Structure 1
Amino acid sequence: MRKSLKIFSLVLVLAAVLVAACTSDASEETKGRVKLAYVQWADAEASTAVASAVLEDMGYEVKEDVVSAGVMWTAVANGDADAFVCGWLPYTHAPYWKRYKDDVVDLGAYYKGARIGLVVPKYVPIESIEELKDHRSEFDGKIVGIEPGSGIMIHTREDTMPGYNLEDWNLMESSGPAMTAQLDRTINRKEWIVITGWKPHWMFFKYDLKFLKDPKKAYGGSEELHAIARKGLKKDMPEVAKVLKNFYMTDEELGEVMYEINVKHIRPKEAARKWVDEHPDVVKEWIS
């Protein structure tokens, strides 16, 4: 009996040693941990997943945190997150940039030609935001929005609604997924709906939509999506900073990933992995 106990104890010790060795080897193989923050927007989810896949291939452990826009900027400014790849500049995230520009590093634009505004299905027979006030009943006096702290909601609430005499309308707070779900239901019924929309977004690939003209420029003009990093990232993780600085996706490339995730319902990690594997030349430009 004692002999059996000794053998059993020896087995436990050896098992513990093996586990420790494996853990040590795994940690040695990891170049470091990168924390990427993002908001659950279609473009942000897709671009973050692609960036994560590339960094993981380079040997980094990547942790993705889904937060609100305000928390995202604050986290990077405070060093609680390393970076994010969904900074809308110069208009949408202007309030955040003004507040945190001295505490973060702009690594540059990874997507050009972005825009925000009010969007309706093409079958809705109006063309401008100016026409909304004359069709309040058809829209039930509602603008379907997303998270209250997002830049597009701030611009809609503070600039668009007062500027176009829509103060008596209700700006509905929800989320990106909830907004597109409402859009889908309404389009299936061929009813009127106006949403806070932005491009790039997969919904423009799935539905026939149009931006309402914004003659008063309440939403600004053309925008870019930027990679924003914490101060010190270039020194601490130069490879990571280099990849995020070189990171760039065209409308078609980002659209492919968003479509896989939101229309084909493939998990973001799997969609990103597929895209990275199919575009080695693009990835090579980012890491070289």
Structure 2
Amino acid sequence: MLKNKWRILGFASMLALVLVLAACGGSDDSEDTAGSEETETEEAAVGEGKEIELVYVNWDSEIASTHVVGKVFEDLGYDVKVTALDNAAMWEAVANGEADGMVAAWLPGTHGDLYEAHKDALVDLGENLSGAKIGLVVPSYMDINSIADLPEYAEELDQKITGIDAGAGVVQSAEQAVEDYALEGWEVQTSTGGAMTTALGEAIDAEEPIVVTGWTPHWKFAEYDLKYLEDPEQTFGGEEYIATMVRQGLEEDLPSAYKVLDQFNWTTEDMESVMLEISNGADPEEAAAAWVEENQELVSEWTAGIE
């Protein structure tokens, strides 16, 4: 009997040990799983559902850049809103804190007056694209090379310069060029960026003369053979850059978003590739998402160091 009793006790002890070890093993697996899920959650939600609003002027170039940056923020977990405004309203929205930022400041010429008016009320994060330019543009098949020669083509061009929206910096410069070059009887006809490029495309298809307000980066330079007219009076100024501006307090409120905007920088070729996709019919969000997916190495530079 005693022998059987010890056997029973031994068996019970072994069973208890097995159960303890199994419990410990299950606990470790649970902790590892929980830790893994927690890490994945943290990595997928840098923005933690926080809202960020970007504003932009409704130019093809700024539609492209703003939607690309917006997509990067969406991938980081932010609730992103992008809003198109006219030039003055865009600057005012960032300066008065109604919007968080913009990547659409053309300096030093195009938005120079607006920058001077609002610079003390916003934070200048510097250029995000270099080598920008504005001026008067014609198809390369036209036998003209300078704004000063436009009077010789007054009849062919019907004394008309095809512009974009009234109040745009390039339109204001074009109107100033009419005075600087004594283009009596000439008119800068304002419309929209889309209407301007439509008129340009129709003229090129028919090999007719046309002069438009132009800027670089723009998809039309990838689509058509164009040239800037020389500007000996420097009415349109020299090389420009596109800068990023954010509201005061953004660094404290959304430090990770601030860092991404501060590190955002790309090339004319990058921007024009997105613009061309949109001009060919792609939705801006879809074109931006495709570019972000194909350029993760550059995007990782913009998001480096965020927490």
User: Based on CA coordinates, which of the two structures has the bigger radius of gyration?
Assistant: 2
Does the TM-score normalized on the shorter chain lie above 0.5? yes
Question: Are the equivalent residues in 2 in contact too, given 1:143–1:194 (CA < 8 A)?
Answer: yes
Q: Quote the Cα distance in structure 1 between the aligned partners of 2:184 and 2:134.
A: 20
Q: Quote the Cα distance in structure 1 between the aligned partners of 2:156 and 2:143.
A: 11
- Structure 2 counterpart of 1:125, which letter? D
**1:46 positional shift:** 0.4
**1:31 positional shift:** 3.2
Q: Quote the Cα distance in structure 1 between the aligned partners of 2:92 and 2:143.
A: 41
TM-score by length of 2: 0.82
The CA deviation string for residues 153-211 of structure 1, in whole angstroms up to 9 with x for no partner, is 12222x31111112421111101111101111111111111000000000000001000
Residue aligning to 2:291: 275
Residue aligning to 1:20: none
**Unaligned stretches of 5+ residues in structure 1:** 1-26
Question: Are the equivalent residues in 2 in contact too, given 1:70–1:150 (CA < 8 A)?
Answer: no
Aligned residues: 260
Residue aligning to 1:22: none
Deviation beyond 3 Å, 4+ runs, structure 1: 27-31
Q: Quote the Cα distance in structure 2 between the aligned partners of 1:29 and 1:80.
A: 19
Question: Are the equivalent residues in 1 in contact too, given 2:46–2:77 (CA < 8 A)?
Answer: no
**1:81 positional shift:** 1.1
C-alpha change, 1:31 and 1:120, in structure 2 (3 Å) is: same
- Structure 2 counterpart of 1:242, which letter? K
C-alpha change, 1:137 and 1:239, in structure 2 (3 Å) is: same
- 2:176 is the alignment partner of 1:150: no
- Correspondent of 1:243 among 250, 254, 260: 260
Write out aligned runs for 1:189-268 (5 A). Answer: 189-263=206-280, 265-268=281-284
Q: Quote the Cα distance in structure 1 between the aligned partners of 2:210 and 2:80.
A: 39
Matched residue SS, 2:149:
helix
The CA deviation string for residues 115-173 of structure 1, in whole angstroms up to 9 with x for no partner, is 0000000011000000002211111111000111111112222x311111124211111
**1:57 positional shift:** 0.6
- 2:96 is the alignment partner of 1:78: yes
Q: Quote the Cα distance in structure 2 between the aligned partners of 1:92 and 1:28.
A: 35
Matched residue SS, 1:149:
coil
- 2:46 is the alignment partner of 1:31: no
Q: Quote the Cα distance in structure 2 between the aligned partners of 1:148 and 1:30.
A: 40
**Unaligned stretches of 5+ residues in structure 2:** 1-44
Q: Quote the Cα distance in structure 2 between the aligned partners of 1:278 and 1:249.
A: 14
